Amino acid sequence: MTATAELFRRHGYTGTGLKQIVAAAGAPFGSVYHFFPGGKAQLGEEVVRRSGAEFRDLVLTVLDHSPDLVTGVGMVFTGAAHTLVATGYEDACPIETVALEVANTNEPLRVATADVFGDWLTAGTGRFTRHGLPEDTARALVTSMICSLEGAFVLSRALRDPEPVLTAGAVVVEAVRRALAEAGDRQAG
């Protein structure tokens, strides 16, 4: 599934054929239907869900191993920018790539991407509230973080420039910094 996720990230769902998938995985063609009787649609749904969980875990690991939330958020965006540059702007988020492509044409994949984004919102909100932010503020910040990162991926890939990701990160970092200061003031007051 890793090979399929990479192909989706680079070429999208419709731009990735089964022959590419089995070639990248080094597997016989029939294995797709053996393991995924629903074919590419079932494989795509499972890849979206697994990739979504992997990206969630990656971001949470960065946040958990950072000295503070502000630094962690900044590191997420900086890491994303470095990955884009290092991969020639090919490796962005496979969830965003698939979501943009199938939102109006493939309901099972739309639901899978929606579930992944919902999971990210829930997990991120939980992490942000651990730092003293009210749940509604935490959810709004996580929503802004996801929207900023995903939109910046698109712009950075088109421009072949990490600036949009770094700029979006700076804006989100400042919003998190302000929210934490306000939450601290409320607790002190």
Residue 97, in any domain of the structure:
yes
CATH number for the domain including 83? 1.10.357.10
CA terminus-to-terminus distance, the chain: 51
Say how many C-beta atoms besides its own lie within 10 A of residue 61's C-beta: 11
pTM of the model: 0.86
As a whole number, mean pLDDT of residues 43-64 equals 93
Q: Determine the structural domain holding residue 168 and report its residue range.
A: 48-188
Residue 7, in any domain of the structure:
no
Contact status, residue 12 vs residue 97, Cβ threshold 8 Å:
yes
What letter does residue 105 receive in the DSSP assignment?
Answer: T
Residue 3, in any domain of the structure:
no
pLDDT tens figures, 54-99: 999 999 999 999 999 999 999 999 999 999 999 999 888 878 888 8
Residue 131, in any domain of the structure:
yes
Residue 32, in any domain of the structure:
no
What domain count does the chain have? 1
Residue 26, in any domain of the structure:
no
Residue 74, in any domain of the structure:
yes
As a whole number, mean pLDDT of residues 19-47 equals 77
The pair phi, psi for residue 49, each rounded to 5°, is: -65, -45
Residue 37, in any domain of the structure:
no
Q: Which residue has the tokens 């090919």?
A: 90
pLDDT tens figures, 112-141: 999 999 999 999 999 999 999 999 999 999
The alpha helices in the chain, defined as continuous H runs, are 2-11, 18-25, 30-35, 39-64, 69-86, 94-102, 107-129, 135-159, 163-188
